[in-house]
Amino acid sequence: MMGSVSAIATIFFLLSSLLLASSDALERPPIVDGLSWNHYFRNCPRLETIVRTHLQKVFKKDTGQAPALLRIFFHDCFVQGCDGSILLDGSPNEKSQPANIGIRPEALQTIEDLRSLVHNHCGRVVSCADLVVLAAREAVSLTGGPRFAVPLGRKDGLTFSINATRNLPPPSFRTGQLLETFAARNFSTTDVVALSGAHTFGRAHCSTFFSRINQTDPPIEPSLAKNLSNTCPSAQAPNTAVLDVRTPNVFDNKYYVNLAKRQGLFASDQDLFSDSRTKGIVKSFASNEKLFFNSFADAVVKLSQLDVLTGKQGEIRAKCSVANKGKEGLVVTSVVENAVDLRGHMSH
């Protein structure tokens, strides 16, 4: 009798979960063929719990790894799709390129640690590409941002690209240049402004914003300019500055409040408040955090599906930094052009 009660309870729980999932799916953005919202439901049901639990411990010791993991996600997806190519070793490789300055080795190691934990628990069924996406999602939600579902089922690529990293726009880009580049990948103006909100935490090297210190277009708040000048007496100074002067370790909407007060660190940030196409969106996100969170989640889900490998494409790596069967080090030069990364010049 006890066994049947337990079985009924289990069935009821599963049915309830499915009903909630289908209701939630009505509000979810569309996904590409080969990905699904419950891809690991059968072969690794504790995947997200394993990732979340480990990252809670990591962030407790090192809050800077949260923006670092989000940055790795952006860098991976915008070069040749979300295929884990940025994780591959090689000489040269993607992560060593100038556009990827400051990518933290600790964050790369965290992804490898996640792979080891997950593969030990479930076997080699989860790709490094999916772990990059999950780590980025947890980096947001565990630091105060929205919790949202991400579709899974990506395979890892066998190659990486050197050339495509050269297309990552610098932090000096103006809004028109960003909008044009994003539009080529079917991102809307709202998507661009929402993804820019990733600058709500993290740090940047002096070389990436030194030219901004004395700018008048876009304008910079005088006290911020003075502080940055003290921090960075030259572009070569080895120091860093926070991207968000209000809540540098929290994922929230204060980034947009900063822009309204001329306190955006990069020209590409501050110009969003100067350009008529984006100023209204900045204001709406500054006054409505929930609206920002929803828009950011939708944009991340869209971003996470760029040029993914699924099904029989790609592989599931046994180690994130090495392609299986000795295929590491292959370089792709004919890749998607106009790759974008709003965090391409940050250190965390």
Residues with a known catalytic role = 75
- Could you give the 3-state DSSP secondary structure of residue 281? helix
How far apart CA 268 and CA 174 sit, in angstroms, is 5
At 82, give phi and psi (nearest 5°).
-80, 80
- Across 280-301, b (16+ Cβ under 10 Å) vs e yields ebbebbbeebebbbebbbbbbb
- As a dihedral over the C-alpha atoms of residue 323, residue 327, residue 329, residue 334, rounded to 10 degrees, the angle is -100
d(CA 30, CA 32) in angstroms, rounded, equals: 7
- 156, 157, 134: which is closest to 147 by C-alpha? 134
Its sign, for the CA torsion 261, 263, 267, 268, is negative
Q: Is the peptide bond before 151 cis (omega within 30 degrees of 0)?
A: no
Q: Which residues contact 92 (CB under 8 A, 6 or more apart)?
A: 162
Return the structure tokens found at 80. 């040749």
Tallying the residues shown for the chain, one arrives at 348
Half-sphere exposure of 167 (CA within 13 A, CB side): 20
Alpha helices in the chain (DSSP H): 2-25, 47-61, 65-80, 105-122, 128-141, 175-183, 189-196, 206-209, 222-231, 254-260, 267-274, 279-287, 289-303
